């Protein structure tokens, strides 16, 4: 569970320039509801990467909010700091993918090179060393981020070179990068034409004219001039499109709940808080073709009668936010956003919002709370957002990949879309293959690939020829497959029947040198850290699970601990308030059932049979 910082919140004597900049930030957001997060983010940047006590007090007075309220927000989101930090924040990714590929070694190297421990700042004030639950660049793991710039495929030599360049003032401007991670492969002709990744890597993502040249905004024109909102909803329903964020709920059906509701205001929100460890697909769309997402969001707004859209982007995705903001401005200039779009009488605009480091904000109601300027505590449901969401108004929440499907469905029709995929799961999907494969990457393909095909055909087989052992399916929240499941069809129903999940389309592949206890310990550390603490089953349950797996990893476990873990995880799944607390049962149960002998080896021999579990790890006190 995330814990409040010790209240050592110092003050800072602000320079005249800092005072002027801070006042400009305060005035910029005055009178705009739900803007505390962007306000605190910009105030932190003005103050040199932290929030001094006197600055928080100034903001509290200016906005007539209680100071304790601001502290509650500042200590909830991990990207805010109440302590002075260096000019450059070095964040080491500790996601399961980076973990199995050497994140702990990367962290040890940085401790050595910088001469500081986690949370400390170098004496020259340049670097502060931190961890990140996930940076969303699993295809280039292990990775770190320095301010907005990601560095992947790290080795000791590369780390030393990067730090040396930054010490010499040779910094990198993230806005000039082509992308944050890998690149889209052009030799994977799986269905003759790319749909979701159309234009990615080929057009200038900051040019609306480039997007128009490849058919951009034709779907919006068709929807506004030749279709009613009801027709749009029906087309999406007939396409069989299911939400691509993980749950797989039918998109058109979700829209149909909100369309008929009478309300003064309705909203559509794009959930771009891609915080599920192992997931990096949405980043490619936002960085490579942001107008496609914007077009899909406008059509969604038209379909349900919304007037405003929000794109909530995870705080680590600086390049995504930069390009989305430029795309919104360009779309507004061209008349695709604003009043009376294309002369249709439809008014709609979009605001890009940044998260500040909270995995739980990927849950739709927690995301809504965050947009409203609150701590990201998930709401009790029902009512669901489609009926009572943002500021208690009907709100549709879809993720990036879901909305990126919409323009193609509107232009080409539902029958065309159903020509891809399976009966249960029509259409195309972005799969992510990462971990111990030769070519970790993003793959667009019709739904229905097998895991074996993804590994061998698209992943290039197992790295260094070390045999396959297991795969966590769908993201960090879901179950593990072993060799007997390699030929499972990757659609929603088939994966669920085998105890896995399609989820976000992530497949974390691990070889025989990987210790299952170590991996599950890493995942449980993530869940107990990211628990918002709102409900007791999750708040306490994630800690009990983590402490239990730690005892097993360090040779102090008992066989009865295995039943205890399943029981605790099952109780959490039945009683927790949101999906975060419901998730551990999937990977706890499947690993204990399918790899029980390895758990027992830790218990009976009182040591890790692979020598992987590290009692001296800095990460696990």
Do 163 and 304 fall into the same domain?
A: no
* Residue spans of alpha helices (H) in 240-387: 251-258, 281-288, 290-304, 318-333, 364-371
pLDDT beyond 90 at 537:
yes
Q: How far is the C-alpha of 433 from the C-alpha of 442, rounded, in Å? A: 6
pLDDT of residue 189: 52
pLDDT at 102 over 90: yes
Distances (CA, A) of 34 to 27, 39, 67, 225, 328: 14, 10, 16, 34, 20
Residue 546 belongs to domain with CATH number = 1.20.1440.230
* Mean pLDDT across the chain: 94
Per-residue model confidence as pLDDT tens digits over 366-375:
999 999 999 9
User: Domain boundary residue among 511, 526, 556?
Assistant: 511
Inform me whether the pLDDT recorded for 413 exceeds 50. Answer: yes
Query: pLDDT band for position 336 (50/70/90)?
Result: very high
Q: Could you give the CA distance from residue 517 to residue 598 in angstroms, rounded to a whole number?
A: 8
Are 154 and 117 within one domain? yes
CATH number for position 492: 3.10.20.600
Domains: count for the chain: 5
Final residue of a domain: which of 172, 198, 218?
172
Does the structure show a pLDDT above 70 at 4? no
| Domain span at 94 | 88-172
| 568 conformational bin, left if phi > 0, alpha if psi -120 to 50, beta if neither | alpha
- Work out the number of other CB atoms within 10 angstroms of the CB of residue 570: 14
Domain harbouring 149, CATH code: 3.40.30.10
- Considering the domain architecture, whether residues 370 and 500 belong to the same structural domain is answered as no
Residue 507 within any structural domain of the chain: yes
Statement to judge: residues 215 and 283 lie in one domain: yes
Q: Say yes or no: 118 and 133 in one domain.
A: yes
Give how far the C-alpha of residue 545 lies from the chain's centroid of Cα atoms, to the nearest Å: 23
Q: 196 lies in a domain?
A: no
Residue 276 lies in a domain: yes
Choice between 190 and 386, residue whose per-residue pLDDT is larger: 386
Among 511, 527, 553, where does a domain finish?
A: 511
Residue 166 belongs to a domain:
yes
Nearest CA to 518 out of 27, 159, 200, 102 is that of 102
Residues 316 and 347 in one domain: yes
Q: Please tell me whether residues 407 and 432 are part of one structural domain.
A: no
User: Which pLDDT belongs to residue 193?
Assistant: 75
In a domain, 182, yes or no: no
Label residue 463 exposed, middle or buried (CB < 10 Å: 0-12, 13-18, 19+).
middle
Taking residues 413-431, report their average pLDDT: 93
Q: Is 3 part of any domain?
A: no
Contact call for residues 49 and 130 (beta carbons, < 8 A): no
So what's the pLDDT on residue 33?
A: 86
Q: Give residue 2's pLDDT band: very low, low, confident or very high (50, 70, 90).
A: very low
Q: Do 451 and 585 share a structural domain?
A: no
The predicted pLDDT at position 44 comes to 97
Question: Quick one: 137 and 256 in the same domain?
Answer: no
β strands within 154-279, DSSP E = 267-272
The Cα 342–Cα 340 span in angstroms is: 6
> Does residue 81 contact residue 49 with C-beta atoms inside 8 Å?
yes
460 and 570, same domain (yes or no): no
Is residue 377 a part of any domain in this protein? yes
Is the confidence at residue 34, as pLDDT, over 50? yes
What is residue 6's predicted lDDT score, i.e. its pLDDT? Answer: 47
Q: Are residues 533 and 501 in the same domain?
A: no
Q: How many residues does the chain have?
A: 621
CATH of the domain at 261: 3.40.50.11540
Same domain, 27 and 104: no
């Amino acid at each position: 569970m995330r814990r409040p910082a010790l209240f050592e919140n110092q003050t800072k004597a602000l320079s005249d320039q800092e005072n002027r900049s801070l006042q400009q930030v305060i005035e910029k957001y005055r009178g705009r509801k739900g803007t505390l997060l962007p306000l605190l983010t910009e105030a932190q940047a003005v103050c040199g990467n932290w929030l001094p006590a006197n600055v928080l007090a100034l903001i509290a007075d200016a906005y007539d909010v209680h100071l304790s309220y601001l502290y509650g927000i500042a200590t909830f989101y991990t990207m805010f700091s109440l302590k002075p930090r260096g000019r450059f924040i070095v964040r080491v990714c500790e996601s399961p993918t980076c973990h199995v590929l050497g994140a702990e070694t990367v962290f040890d190297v940085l401790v050595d090179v910088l001469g500081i421990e986690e949370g400390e700042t170098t004496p020259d004030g340049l670097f502060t060393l931190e961890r990140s639950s996930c940076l969303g660049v699993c295809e280039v793991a292990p990775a770190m981020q320095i301010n907005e710039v990601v560095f992947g495929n790290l080795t000791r030599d590369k780390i030393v070179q990067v730090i040396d360049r930054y010490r010499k003032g040779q910094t990198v401007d993230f806005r000039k990068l082509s992308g944050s991670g890998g690149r889209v492969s052009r030799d994977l002709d799986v269905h003759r034409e790319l749909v979701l990744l159309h234009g990615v890597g080929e057009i200038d993502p900051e040019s609306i004219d480039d997007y128009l040249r490849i058919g951009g905004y034709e779907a919006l024109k068709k929807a506004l001039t030749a279709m009613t909102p009801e027709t749009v909803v029906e087309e999406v329903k007939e396409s069989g499109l299911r939400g691509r964020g993980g749950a797989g709920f039918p998109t058109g059906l979700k829209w149909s709940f909100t369309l008929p509701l009478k309300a003064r205001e309705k909203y559509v929100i794009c959930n771009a808080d891609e915080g599920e460890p192992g997931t990096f697909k949405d980043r490619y769309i936002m960085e490579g073709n942001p107008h496609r997402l914007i077009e899909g969001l406008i059509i969604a707004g038209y379909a349900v009668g919304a007037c405003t859209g929000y794109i909530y982007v995870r705080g680590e995705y600086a390049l995504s936010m930069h390009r989305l903001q430029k795309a919104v401005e360009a779309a507004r200039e061209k008349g695709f956003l604003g009043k009376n779009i294309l002369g249709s009488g439809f008014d709609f605009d979009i605001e890009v919002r940044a998260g500040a480091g909270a995995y739980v904000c990927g849950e739709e109601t927690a995301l809504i709370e965050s947009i409203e300027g609150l701590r990201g505590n998930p709401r009790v449901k029902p009512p669901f957002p489609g009926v009572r969401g943002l500021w208690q108004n009907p709100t549709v929440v879809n993720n990036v990949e879901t909305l990126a499907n919409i323009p193609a469905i509107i232009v080409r029709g539902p029958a065309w879309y159903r020509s891809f995929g399976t009966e249960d799961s029509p259409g195309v999907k972005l799969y992510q293959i990462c971990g111990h494969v030769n070519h970790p990457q993003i793959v667009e393909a019709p739904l229905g690939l097998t895991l074996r095909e993804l590994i061998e055909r698209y992943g290039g087989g197992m790295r260094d020829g070390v045999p396959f052992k297991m795969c966590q399916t769908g993201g960090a929240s879901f179950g593990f497959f072993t060799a007997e499941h390699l030929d499972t069809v990757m659609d929603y129903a088939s994966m669920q029947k085998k105890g896995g999940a399609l989820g976000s389309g992530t497949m974390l592949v691990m070889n025989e040198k990987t210790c299952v206890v170590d991996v599950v310990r890493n995942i449980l550390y993530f869940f107990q850290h990211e628990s918002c603490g709102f409900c007791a089953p999750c708040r306490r349950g994630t800690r009990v699970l983590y402490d239990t797996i730690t005892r097993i990893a360090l040779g102090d476990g008992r066989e009865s601990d295995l039943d205890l873990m399943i029981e605790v995880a099952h109780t959490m799944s039945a009683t927790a308030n949101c999906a975060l607390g419901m998730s551990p049962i999937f990977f706890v149960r499947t690993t204990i059932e399918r790899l029980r002998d390895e758990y027992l080896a830790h218990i009976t021999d009182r040591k890790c049979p692979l020598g992987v579990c590290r009692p001296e790890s800095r990460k696990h006190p």
